[in-house]
Chains A and B, each alone.
Chain A
Amino acid sequence: MSEREKCLIALAVAHAVQCPYCIDAYTQACLEKGSNPEQMTEAVHVAAAIRGGASLVHGLQMRNAAAKVSM
């Protein structure tokens, strides 16, 4: 992977873990590796999709727990 791609991953992870310092640092780093704000926003969308997807599939845990105690 290129340095630019690694920085985009780091930016996405920074958003997933919601680290404000990391977001500032990797925003600057992404720009300095040649990414543009649209690409960086796309990376954040990927992070959001993964986080959102993980929340959704945890719904199964809820459904299973509810089923167990329900008639």
Chain B
Amino acid sequence: MSLLSLHHPLSAPGEQLRVLQNGHKPFASALAESGLFPLTATGIGVLQINVGKLCNQTCKHCHVDAGPDRREIMSRETAELCIAALRQTSIPVVDITGGAPELNPHFRWLVEQARALGRHVMDRCNLSVLLLPSQADLAEFLAEHRVEVVASLPYYLEQQTDAQRGNGVFAKSLEALRRLNALGYGRPDSGLPLTLVANPVGAFLPPPEHALEADFRREMERRYGVVFNSLHTITNMPISRFLEFLLRTGNYDRYMQKLIQSYNPAAARGVMCRYTLSVGWDGSLYDCDFNQMLDLPVGQAAPGHIRDFDPEQLGQRRIVIGQHCYGCTAGAGSSCGGATVKQG
């Protein structure tokens, strides 16, 4: 169940922010020391649309607190506003996320419209959704529209994956990956990119992206005959369910210290909020999906809703920051596109 359904205090963004503001070096100071304060956007290269919090899984680290019990979902009217905003600009990438975005009844319409505008569309897919009876033709739909599938898989073994994402999820994920592979996803030159996203199964930083990609490539093919194009690593953000895990297990202070000690100015320069605009299920605008879940909208100088979309103002807005931002600047950095400091 979600923290919200459990009436957990940490389901409130204000309580999460209160915990995060306790005692550690302010993120603004770290940015200032590396000459990056105030952090500003460098344009809008990605429109990330969060179409709702409904999900068929309840992962232990989920920063959205998504689950089958969540009902917040983007309406057709708001989805139309997103397409209208895209039509005004040449934003090249549309990144659709959730929850399980495919469970939004307007997901396929959104994909079709964005593709008709010639934009690259990414579906942040939990894989198991492909096996739901209501989604039996989803894989074919994604392939037909040349949608990049960005699939969550924390580890190449069942024990670790199920520990984070729920019992039976690894087996379902494998079946979904095989289905995608059969359609051409993950195969070189098919034009159907399959990207895996791995995040640590615990209170530690992710491995170097290139090394983990090599491990995954070898093990996924050898053990299961599954192929993919690339792998992204993402650091677990100390908010929502992962924050609850950190506090419950006594790992919070150590994890925050680790993030702060690992602050990397090069990673800070490349954070995704500088080139991403995040749209919430109700059309509100945010600098990133994490700020969205913490109820931290874009600064007041920029329009706050997709109906008032203004690419010029939003493309040079000042980014709203907080202590959770250390999650994106630790080590090789972290973003929806994986590490922000890529290594050979």
Q: B207 is contacted by which of A28, A34, A38 (Cβ under 8 Å)?
A: A34
List of A residues within 8 angstroms of B200 by Cβ: 31-32
Interface residue? A45 (CB, 8 A): no
Q: With A and B bound together, what is the CA distance between A33 and B200 in angstroms? A: 10
Chain B, residues 195-231, CB within 8 Å of chain A (1/0): the string is 0000010101111100110010000000000000000
What does the 1/0 interface line of B143-163 toward A look like (CB < 8 Å)?
A: 000000000000101011000
Tell me if A36 counts as interface (CB < 8 A to partner B).
Answer: yes
Residue from A3, A28, A31 in contact with B208 in the complex, judged by beta carbons closer than 8 Å: A3
Q: Is the CB of B215 within 8 A of A4?
A: yes
Contact B204 A28 (CB under 8 A): yes
Instruction: Tell whether, in the assembled complex, residue A34 and residue B157 are in contact, meaning their CB atoms are under 8 Å apart.
Output: no
Interface residues of A in 25-51 (CB under 8 A from B): 28, 31-34, 36, 38
Q: Does the CB pair B160–A3 fall under 8 Å?
A: no
User: A70 interface residue, CB < 8 Å from B?
Assistant: no
B contact residues, total (Cβ < 8 Å): 14
Complex interface bits, A4-42 against B, C-beta within 8 A gives 1, otherwise 0? 100000000000000000000000100111101010000
Q: How far is the CA of A32 from the CA of B212 in the complex (A)?
A: 10
Task: Report whether B212 and A34 are in contact in the complex, using a CB–CB cutoff of 8 Å.
Answer: yes
Q: Which residue from chain A places its CB closest to the CB of B157 in the assembled complex? A: A36
Q: Which residues of A sit under 8 angstroms from B160, Cβ to Cβ?
A: 36
Q: Taking the complex as formed, is A61 at the interface, i.e. its CB lies under 8 A from any CB of chain B? A: no
Tally of contact residues, A, Cβ under 8 A: 10
Number of A-B contacts (CB under 8 A): 27
Interface residue from B155, B159, B207 paired with A32 (Cβ < 8 Å): B207
Name the one of A3, A31, A36, A38 contacting B211, with C-beta atoms under 8 angstroms: A3
Q: A64 an interface residue at 8 Å Cβ cutoff?
A: no
| B residues near A36, Cβ cutoff 8 Å | 155, 157, 159-160
Tell whether, in the assembled complex, residue A31 and residue B202 are in contact, meaning their CB atoms are under 8 Å apart: yes
Q: How far is the CA of A36 from the CA of B205 in the complex (A)?
A: 14
A2 close to chain B: CB less than 8 A = yes
Residues of the A chain whose Cβ atoms lie less than 8 Å from the Cβ of B206: 32
A32 near B204: Cβ-Cβ < 8 Å: yes
Complex CA gap A33/B205 in Å reads 9
Alpha-carbon gap, A34 to B204, bound state (A) = 10
Contacts of B159 in A (CB 8 A): 36
Q: Given that A36-B157, A36-B160 are known contacts, is A4 also in contact with B204, CB under 8 Å in the complex?
A: no
Q: How far is the CB of B116 from chain A (nearest CB, A)?
A: 40
Question: What residue of chain A has the Cβ atom nearest to residue B202's Cβ?
Answer: A31
Contacts of A34 in B (CB 8 A): 207, 211-212, 215
Enumerate chain A interface residues (CB-CB to B < 8 A).
Answer: 2-4, 28, 31-34, 36, 38
Using A4-B207, A33-B208, A34-B207 as known contacts, list a sample of 6 further A-B pairs with CB atoms less than 8 Å apart, ordered by residue number in A. Answer: A3-B211, A32-B200, A32-B205, A34-B211, A36-B155, A36-B160
